Structure 1
């Protein structure tokens, strides 16, 4: 018996559309990252990009739980002296919600050339419209929250 190894010629890619309205940002990002990586397929191979294309719509309606909206910050540096910039997530979600979703998914992909290739298959839109109807995307249902024995 031989172990199956996927390669670029044997991979078939599908398009999925995800509605982010009301979904927690972290749960949405982890499930989208798994599809981009190809972990939902039986032919998943870690060193090959076996993932599918994902379109995220309604990113402006994504939710953050707890006090993250007021306390969580996005940090970046302009590479100039004193160029450290911070922006709180309530302002980031109001102005650039598509960037917030993009960065959350990016953080859950591998930090190498394969991860950068997987990230190119992600499209994020603020509203409900997208321009990928020609690819006939299938709606992807997000997994519900799993509860432990105590019901939490």
Structure 2
């Protein structure tokens, strides 16, 4: 009979920081890799109901790419909660205004819904420029193909 794997306290204490450059990366492929790392599916000790201690820093979010005609056709909607409060804008408009939100929304949709997904989403740090304030954590650079 299979035994349930429960990680020890020693293995849960080590925080790992990863740095990913989003320049000229495709949005969907980048987002799936981020979601896999946040969930811990790249680790040998993956447990679906436990939080992973991986933090991800994304830089150059304004340089993310999409394929096809999505720059003009993909729409992002938000609602204020008031009657007639629906606002929508295209990918290119949102990329000019708030480029961080594109990656955040994409990754959040790939994480589990519920308290675990909300906890994992707080470990994602997205920055539109080339600099970030997490140099003290000595993040490991990840190159995605």
Tell me the TM-score normalized by structure 2.
0.93
Structure 2 unaligned spans of 5+: none
CA distance in 2: counterparts of 1:7 and 1:122, whole angstroms: 24
Q: Cα offset for 1:2? A: 4.2
| Matched residue, 1:149 | none
| Matched residue, 1:46 | 48
| Matched residue, 2:78 | 76
Q: Cα offset for 1:13? A: 2.2
8 Å contact from structure 1 (residues 15, 52) kept in 2: yes
Q: Go from structure 1 to structure 2 and tell me whether the alpha carbon gap of 1:44 and 1:26 turns closer, same or farther (over 3 Å shift).
A: same
**RMSD between superposed Cα atoms in Å:** 1.5
Q: 1:1-150 counterparts in 2 under 5 A?
A: 2-6=3-7, 10-11=11-12, 12-142=14-144, 144=145
Tell me the TM-score normalized by structure 1.
0.89
Structure 1 unaligned spans of 5+: 145-152
8 Å contact from structure 1 (residues 6, 48) kept in 2: no
